[in-house]
Amino acid sequence: MTNLPHWWQNGVIYQIYPKSFQDTTGSGTGDLRGVIQRLDYLHKLGVDAIWLTPFYVSPQVDNGYDVANYTAIDPTYGTLDDFDELVTQAKSRGIRIILDMVFNHTSTQHAWFREALNKESPYRQFYIWRDGEPETPPNNWRSKFGGSAWRWHAESEQYYLHLFAPEQADLNWENPAVRAELKKVCEFWADRGVDGLRLDVVNLISKDPRFPDDLDGDGRRFYTDGPRAHEFLHEMNRDVFTPRGLMTVGEMSSTSLEHCQRYAALTGSELSMTFNFHHLKVDYPGGEKWTLAKPDFVALKTLFRHWQQGMHNVAWNALFWCNHDQPRIISRFGDEGEYRVPAAKMLAMVLHGMQGTPYIYQGEEIGMTNPHFTRITDYRDVESLNMFAELRN
């Protein structure tokens, strides 16, 4: 097998969701020391890098994807000293560290947003505010977690945009000061030995400045792969990703092959690689995520061919079946009973047989299945809870 120019083109990346990985304190929540304890296992497994989902200070409305401080570790997970030890111990085993960066939005508990509630503060321009009436939002865009994408702030008599939960206010990437602060965050973690960044929903950072009503949908066509998304990522790459030698993988929501050919071009002017989710929508009948259906495996094969051929010699793919947002693939596309192990091997063979960098979600290597909760109260996922309430009503 021919080695390619970059380490991440030859490696396998293992995703860890610290909250549920290994608890060393008896708190019921996983922590960074739990990851340290499992490094020998991960080394034996043969992974080249670990991607850690957010462990920053957060109210945990969206399991850490509502960040209240990008450079402080939530005490639930440990300390910066724990993190530094994790980096040192991982590197001694030849394992690199990749961190999750949630740069489309912050928690409304973030100091920037708390300052932004004052209309006279310069931090007001760190977020997207628009006029409206208490019962009349600026447009009809929908949040990806249900309901309007706008939340009224009575004291300042304006709405702020939140494409996700109301507690996750969208950052205003049009403001150079925002981009400057986010570059500082990247520098902070690069200084601590981080080798890569996973950029959460990063193709949503640029919105149509007109903020028009969407007469044919939920608004996503006005902010997905938006007008300045490529420009912003080129700037981030020029100023921090390339100078610091950071591998970058972008999570691309509802994107297209043509955009990913630009985001992840082999010339390396924006990102190293991209996640797309089209192959995980082949069991969405009519595009309906919350309707149960059997997978269309012919469509799956067609999609893999489309993306493999389209990205070949042009850009780089990130390959995956599972992550913290998806059901276990054996439960979804395979068999949980007699054929669980053969199904797991078959699905792994498909993934590792394609061109791109494979990502393995914790437990995928041992054929883990869905937990089969029987009560909605067992779920700790804001999107699932919101959709349950919406569909029930």
Q: Catalytic positions, please?
A: 200, 251
Q: How far apart are CA 355 and CA 376, in angstroms?
A: 39
Q: Which of 183, 187, 178, 134 is nearest to 156 (CA)?
A: 134
Here the tokens at position 165 are 């939960």
Q: Where would I find the H helices in the chain?
A: 7-10, 32-37, 39-45, 80-92, 111-116, 176-191, 229-236, 257-263, 297-311, 329-333, 340-352, 382-392
Q: Are strands 49-52 and 96-101 parallel, antiparallel or unpaired?
A: parallel
Q: Which of 133, 142, 110 is nearest to 220 (CA)?
A: 142
Q: How far apart are CA 79 and CA 86, in angstroms?
A: 11
Q: Give the type of residue at 21.
A: F
- Torsion sign, CA atoms 206, 212, 213, 214: negative
Q: How far apart are CA 7 and CA 245, in angstroms?
A: 11
